[in-house]
Structure formats: C-alpha cells, structure tokens
Amino acid sequence: MNNFEYKQAEDIATAINLISEQDNTKFLAGGTNLLDLWKYNLTNPSGLVDINRIHGLAEIKELSNGGVRLGANFKNADTAYHPIIENKYPLLSKAILAGASAQIRNMASNGGNLLQRTRCYYFYDPDVPCNKRNPGSGCPAKEGYNRIHAILGTSDHCIAVFPSDMCVALAALNALVNVEGAEGKRTIAFADFHRLPGDRPDLDNNLKPGELITSIDLPDKGFAQNYSYLKLRDRHSYAFALVSVATALELDGEMIKDARIALGGVAHKPWRSTEAENFLRGKSANESNFAAAADIILQDAKGYGHNDFKIALAKKAIIRNGLMALNPQSQLPGAKPSA
C-alpha cells in the first residue's frame, strides 16, 4: 500500500515517460478519488506521478472555432465559476456544482473528473467479488443491494454506474477529450470516451495505458438559453445521483431545433440517446413530447430489484428537466429539484 514512489512532472513528456517506465504507475492530479481508493487498499500504485505542476494544463482558453478548451488540471470549481463557462456553458456550470462538495470541487481536476471510479458498494469492498475490481470474480450487485445501480447498458458482468455529474453535461455538450501518450496525441469524442461494461467492466474508458488527458474541448454551441441540470438523490446535497439529467435545447419559438439529453446515475457512462434527440427535433417543447422522448430513452431500461424505481424516476426527471430547460431561472443553486 505505501510503497509507491512519488515523482513530480514539470511537463507532459516527462509525465508520460515516468508512467511508461513502471507498471502500475498512476497520474496524480486532484487526488480526491485516487487517494480515497488507495487508502481503502482498492488500488495499489507502485508509483504516483504528480502532474499538478505541469505548465499549461491548468488553463482555460477560448478556441478559434468558437469553442473553449478546459485544461485537464483546471479545477472543477474554477471551471464552474469561470465567466466564460457561466455565460456560454451554464449547463456545465450547473452540473459541476451539483457534484461533491465545495472543498472537493476546489481540489478535483477536470481530467480527473472523467476518471472517477464507480461508487458501487461491492466495488468498494475488497472482501467480496467484483468484476470491475477483480475481473472474473463475479458481480454481487445484480442479486444484491443495487439501489444505486444501473438500469441502462448493463451487462451480466457489471451493473455499476459512473458517478460524475460534470461528465453528464460534457456528454450533452458533445465535448472532445484531448489525450497524449507514448504514441502521440489524439482526440476522443465524449460519447466514445467512457465505455459500457460488456465483458470488460474493469475498463471504465477507452484511454490506452499511460495516456494522459491534457484538455477537454467544448464546441461552440453552448445551449446557454435553454438548459437544465436536475439531480435527484437521497439527500439534498453532497450525495451521488440516483438519477440526474442534463437537458440542452435549441428552440425556435416553441419548436425544438436541437435537443440534447444526457442521463447520469443510470449507466456505466453518461447516457445519451440519439433516437430520442432526433425524435424531439422539430417537435413542440412540451410535456407530452418530453414524455415520449423519455420512453424512447428508457425503452430498454432494466431494473435489478432495489433500483427498479429508477426507471419511473428517470422518466419523471427527463420530463421535468425538459420543462425546466424552458425556463432556466426555475433552477435553484446546487441543482435543487424544485422551484
């Protein structure tokens, strides 16, 4: 547990080199999830490469295509409160502020937010099987206490959910993830970044070993007029989502020109449904159309007992959030549910 080597990298190349030198070395940014897991003996890195001092990663800048680049080391709180984000991408701001606590948002990096591990009870208990933690050992959640677990995109091997709020908004906004590794740089569309569990639930995302997230690009379109992030949970703050919904609408009068709906707390990744979004295009922005969209999104939803309620809750949340997006002022701080 304690035997990790700690090294600080001052630039990206050094960081990537340090990672590739040794197996089981991890990048350390905010540390809010990695150190949590390490203290529980759920991860045992042989080395930590502290990337906090890498020049240029803790920035936010406007891009020539009208979009914005969020540095991987830029903090969650700084992102949420940045004037560009507040004005142009208020959905992202809302989603970030719905997650964790003020202290954690001050510590957590944007890159690290994408790499959070699940909060599945069984993943967090080293004394029980878990395919994500210990491939091939089984998934106790399926027949166990699965109140917080997934209803969409599950597999026989894993029904864990991805816990981020920020990423639900990033998914809705079609963000791009810029990564760099030993083989060079590449850009991953947000929808392709996280993965469904399938038969490899140990893999949360499609990063290659040793690749470092350097930044996240937000496209020009920010849906600043009609957006809403709704997070439903077991207490009013500082709890992971039972269900969350990011809704972004582009309206022409009452008609929906473009719609994005992403769900959190329901799957192994932020959940998007192109079919539902296509359905909404050209339709009136009203309760019945949001309900129909919800039915499309949830058509393959499957409960595992304790989480059956999430299907009904998700439908209500999608409808309600669609209506809230029509009047973003109806949202209260911290993504509180009621006006």
Partner 1 sequence: MRSETQNLNHLKQGDCTVNLTVNGEQKILQVQPWVSLLDGLRDHLNLTGTKKGCDHGQCGACTIICDDKRILSCLTLAVMKNGSEITTVEGIAHGNELHPIQQAFIDHDAFQCGYCTPGQLCSAIGLIKEGKAQTREEVKELMSGNLCRCGANIGIIDAIMEVKAGGGHE
Partner 2 sequence: MEDSNKSIGKGINRIDGILKITGKATYATDYPAKNMAYAVLFKSTIAAGKIKSIESTEAQKYPGVIKIITHENILPLNTKGGLRGGALLQSPEVTFHGQHIGIVVAETFEQATAAAHLITVEYNQKEEKIDFDNLAKTPEMPKGKELADLVRGAGKSALADAEVKIEASYETPIEHHHPMEPHATVAVWEGDQLTLYNGSQIINGAQTAAAATLNIKPEQVRIISPFIGGGFGSKGGQWANLVLTAVAAKMVGRPVKLALTRQQMFNSVGLRQRNIQQLSIGATKEGKLLTLAHETISHTAVDSEYIEPCGDCTKVMYEVPNSLISYRVVPMNLILPTYTRGPGKSTGSFALESAMDELAYTLKMDPIELRIKNEPAKDTSNGKPWSSRTTVKCLQEGAKAFGWAKRKPEPGTNKIGDDLIGYGVACGTYPARQRDSSAVIKLSLKNKVVYATIEIAASDLGTGTNTILAQTAADGLGLPVKQINVKLGDSDLPPAAGSVGSVGASSFANAVNDACIKITDELLAKSGKQFFVRPTAAQLMISEYIADFQTRSDSKAPAEAEKYSAHSFNANFAEVRVNSVTGMVKVTRFLAVTGAGKILNPKTARSQIIGGIVWGIGMALTEESIIDPRYGNFATRSFADYHVPTNLDIGDLDAMFINEKDFIPNKMGVKGIGEVGIVGVAAAVANAVFNATGKRVRSLPITPDKLL
For partner 1, the binding residues (CB under 8 A) are 1-2, 4-6, 28, 31-32, 35-36, 39-40, 48, 50, 52, 77, 81, 100-104, 106-107, 236-238, 332-334, 336
Spell out, one character per residue from 291 to 310, where the chain touches partner 2: x when CB under 8 A holds, - when not: ------------------x-
How far apart, in whole angstroms, are the C-alpha atoms of residue 50 and residue 155? 35
From 51-59, 221-229, 274-282, 313-321, give the range in contact with partner 2 by CB under 8 A: 313-321
Report phi then psi at 212, rounded to 5: -115, 130
Closest C-alpha to 251, from 290, 295, 283, 274: 283
Closest C-alpha to 33, from 145, 157, 144, 123: 123
Least CB distance to partner 1 at residue 165 (A): 14
Q: Which of 89, 121, 227, 279 binds partner 2 (CB under 8 A)?
A: 121
**Binding partner at 121 among partner 1, partner 2, none, C-beta below 5 to 8 Å by kind:** partner 2
Q: Coil, helix or strand for 319?
A: helix
E-assigned strand segments in 203-330:
212-218, 226-232, 243-252, 255-264, 271-272
β pairing state of 5-8 and 47-50: parallel
| DSSP secondary structure letters along 10-24 | SSHHHHHHHHHHSTT
* Closest CB to partner 2 among residues 254, 287: 287
Least CB distance to partner 1 at residue 119 (A): 11
How far apart, in whole angstroms, are the C-alpha atoms of residue 150 and residue 266? 4
Radius of gyration of the chain (CA): 19
Q: What H or E segment, with its residue span, contains residue 47?
A: strand 47-50
Q: According to CB under 8 A, which residues from 140 to 159 bind partner 2?
A: 140, 144-145, 147
Spell out, one character per residue from 217 to 246, where the chain touches partner 2: x when CB under 8 A holds, - when not: ---------------x-xxxxxxx-x----
Least CB distance to partner 1 at residue 118 (A): 15
**Binding partner at 127 among partner 2, partner 1, none, C-beta below 5 to 8 Å by kind:** partner 2
SS (H, E, C) 197-219: CCCCCCCCECCCCCCEEEEEEEC
**Binding partner at 291 among partner 1, partner 2, none, C-beta below 5 to 8 Å by kind:** none
Q: According to CB under 8 A, which residues from 1 to 30 bind partner 2?
A: 1-3
Which positions touch partner 2 (CB under 8 A)?
1-3, 39-41, 119, 121-122, 124-125, 127-128, 140, 144-145, 147, 232, 234-240, 242, 309, 312-313, 316-317, 319-320, 334, 336-339
